[in-house]
Amino acid sequence: MSYRTNGCPYGSHRVIEPKGSLPQPALRLDNSLPLYDNEILIDVITLNIDSASFHQMKNAAGGNPDGIAKIITETVAERGKQHNKVTGSGGMLIGRVKDIGPNYKGKLKLQKGDKIATLVSLSLTPLYIEKIKNVIVDKEQVEIDGYAVLFESGVAVKLPDDIPEKIALAALDVAGAPAQTAHLVKDGHTVLVIGAGGKSGMLCLYEAKKKVGKNGKVIGLAHSDSSFERMKKYGWADICLKGNAQKPLEIYEMVKEQTGGKMCDIVINCTNVPNTEMSSILTCKDNGTVYFFSMATSFTAAALGAEGIGHGATMLIGNGYFPNHAEYTISILRESKELYRLFEELYG
């Protein structure tokens, strides 16, 4: 097999427009073959679209799977990657390693034929779709025939043998959230999880409940009836609230009542809709921390909104990467039978 040479470890050689950019913010990527000699080629099985992106496409297509497939096909044909033009986000994928360039010097210890999940966004991953076979609307997953390219700096993980791939994929897609939660939450904290009934929200509730101890408190906020009932069912939230996080003053009053006006040490935003920044900031203590895991977050709105009300909370961008996050998230699926059953019910 012949290879192209002089590939940048960070993938800038694949950028068509604008030149000099890195792949994630780029408008267009080269998704063609042959492979560069420091890249990994993946036969793609399933795309796991991130929740904010899938929610936007689902609404735009009126819930029609064929309409969602058309949006994805057009996006990838135009941009060379699955990079949602509205949310700016992507997702991740499952596939098999088809080839590894002879000059690949990355950290991944992979072999041809390994089934892997990529832990970098589809918004920076060169992707070619030959055919969309199935859009699984309730799981936010898309089965395709096609290939993708992983750069030398890219991160991926071999899928575990003891967990079905669709369950593992759903959990790994949000692996940064529970790992960061475990890092942030301390004994005695009051923690609010916004969007607590979704997959990242439920993982964060579980981790927060472990970390706060007997003197702490976990508050969950969900919007839809199904998310609220799911949150109540598993009992990881000490207080379950139902409300619209796009209405910050209403949420502020609800949390103020539940905390006796003290508000929260940690607020974790796991929503998949825009305009929830101020609910997150208002419910946090002035010296607390807001963790925006939601890809629907406007960081301009968060920064200027906090400034506008004179709020001093530390605000963290929801980096999907955290050291050992994949291994950590898989370990808690093994640790909790209830959490595993939840993911099996939703994504199995």
Residue 238 phi/psi, 5-degree rounding, is -70, -35
Kindly state whether residues 291 and 197 are assigned to the same domain.
yes
Specify which residues 308 forms β-bridges with.
none
Global pTM reads 0.83
Residues 153, 244 within the same domain? no
Examine residue 78 and state whether it is found in any structural domain, yes or no: yes
Q: Tell me, yes or no, whether 189 and 336 share the same domain.
A: yes
For residue 210, give its domain range: 176-347
Q: Are residues 146 and 247 in the same domain?
A: no
Question: Residue 68 and residue 34: Cα distance in Å, rounded?
Answer: 29
Residue 168 falls within a domain, yes or no? no
Query: What sign does the dihedral 113-125-90-221 (CA atoms) show?
Result: positive
User: How many domains is the chain built from?
Assistant: 2
Rounded CA-CA distance 107/10 in Å is: 13
DSSP string, 262-295: --EEEEEE--SSSS-HHHHHHTEEEEEEEEE--T
Is 150 in the same domain as 186? Answer: no
252: domain CATH number?
A: 3.40.50.720
Instruction: Give per-residue pLDDT as tens, 90-108.
Output: 999 999 999 999 999 999 9
So what's the pLDDT on residue 287? 96
Residues 187, 277 share a domain: yes
* Cα–Cα nearest to 336, from 139, 178, 177: 178
CA distance linking residue 211 with residue 191, whole number of Å: 10
Last residue of a domain, one of 159, 194, 218: 159
Q: Taking the C-alpha atoms of 347, 138, 342 and 219 in order, what is their torsion angle to the nearest 10 degrees?
A: 140
CA distance 132 to 2: 28
Nearest Cα residue to 280 out of 310, 257, 247: 247
Domain boundary among 159, 185, 214: 159
* Statement to judge: residues 155 and 37 lie in one domain: yes
- Report residue 329 CA to chain centroid gap: 13
Segments of the chain with pLDDT less than 50: none
Residue 11: name the closest of 36, 47, 33, 43 by CA: 36
CA 46, 52, 53, 58 torsion-angle sign = positive
Residue 170 resides in a domain: no
Q: Report the first-to-last Cα separation within the chain, whole angstroms.
A: 38
pLDDT, position 27: 97
Q: Are residues 244 and 122 in the same domain?
A: no
Say if residues 232 and 198 touch (Cβ distance below 8 Å).
no
Residues 183 and 128 in one domain: no
Find the helix or strand (DSSP H, E) in which 338 lies. helix 337-347
Residues 182 and 242 in one domain: yes
Of the residues 159, 190, 224, which one is the last residue of a structural domain?
159
The per-residue pLDDT for range 234-278, each reduced to its tens digit, is 999 999 999 999 999 999 999 999 999 999 999 999 998 999 999
| Judgement on whether residues 257 and 306 belong to the same structural domain of the protein | yes
Residue 169 lies in a domain: no
Report the number of secondary-structure helices (H) and strands (E) in the chain: 11, 14
- CB–CB of 218/238 below 8 Å? yes
- Regarding whether 199 and 127 lie in a shared domain, the answer is no
Phi and psi at residue 178, to the nearest 5°: -70, -35
